[in-house]
Amino acid sequence: MRIAIIGSGAIGIHYGAHLARGGADVHFLIRGDLREVRQNGLYVRAKGGSLRVADVNCYNSTTEIGPCDLVIIAVKATSNGDLIDLIPPLLHDRTALLTLQNGLGNEEFLAEHFSVEHVLGGLCFICVTRISRTEIEAYDSGTLVMGEYGRNAGRRTDAIASQFATCGINCSVTDDLAFERWRKLVWNIPFNALSILAGGISTADILGNDGLRRATLALMDEVVDAANNCGHALDKAVAQQYIKHTEVVGAFKPSTLSDWEGRKPLELQAIWGEPLRRATAAGAKMPRLEIIYALLKSLEATREGQQSL
């Protein structure tokens, strides 16, 4: 299986490095100076065992990579427009496009611009942070859940999951990708937002503050209710499960906080805007998410205004 990694941030490096170390034919798109990666390789720090890929197949363009069997999309949703030009050189008739992006709407975007038969989605229940251009730290290697967009999983999905499993990734297959998308939002919506709005704090800081902990649980319950309104039977117990797991991980900074501190655009629409719109259309009330979404939009607009001065 010839594999391309589009988006060499924490997620792309984590899964790409594991696949490459496991013997897969992996090719990384790295838009920028390649010298450091070619000189130092890629390194994943993890409690359960670190790994390094010394010889990295890396390129400045997807044209150099050429057609692949699997394209793993790990760019932020804010860069989806770039995929229109990046993906075509990687395609053949049976190429699988696996988006590991956060939020809602990414599979729909790919299906709109490329054949729907190409599209799969994956949910990374994982805590990883990029330390440098060549290193990431994995606080929790977690699990990967993947499925076909708009249809049940099949032989292709099983083959890709097997490729991940062979390389030491805890990977499972689902027939209900939309359900898993909403399940992950139960964590992403509160923790990514509150880490920014509370002044740049970790998940441990959020859970260690009584008021923020209650706010997190209230937002989680609201997302569970919205998912059910949208036809996805999430159990309220998922909120406490996430809380317990997050406590074990410790002082982790969510990816959106890293984006904010790095003055990068927030995935406002994918993580907060689109879930709010879909829930509202289904008749759900999400007053807390409305406030969170409005505050984040205001913060980003203020920053953009300052940058343009």
Catalytic residues: 184
**For residue 85, with 0-12 CB atoms within 10 Å meaning exposed, 13-18 middle and 19 or more buried, which class applies?**
exposed
Query: Tokens for 299?
Result: 């913060």
Q: Alpha-carbon distance 41 to 26, whole Å?
A: 13
Q: Which of 288, 172, 267, 175 is nearest to 224 (CA)?
A: 288
Output DSSP code: residue 53.
E
Q: Alpha-carbon distance 162 to 251, whole Å?
A: 32
In degrees rounded to 5, what are phi and psi of residue 64?
Answer: -70, -30
Matching residue, tokens 């490329």: 114
Q: Alpha-carbon distance 120 to 261, whole Å?
A: 31
CA 145 to chain centre: 12
Q: Alpha-carbon distance 39 to 58, whole Å?
A: 11
Q: Which of 231, 181, 212, 209 is nearest to 288 (CA)?
A: 212
In degrees rounded to 5, what are phi and psi of residue 104?
Answer: -110, 150
Q: Quick check: 106 and 99 in contact, CB under 8 A?
A: yes
Helices 287-308 and 274-281: angle between axes, nearest 10 degrees: 150
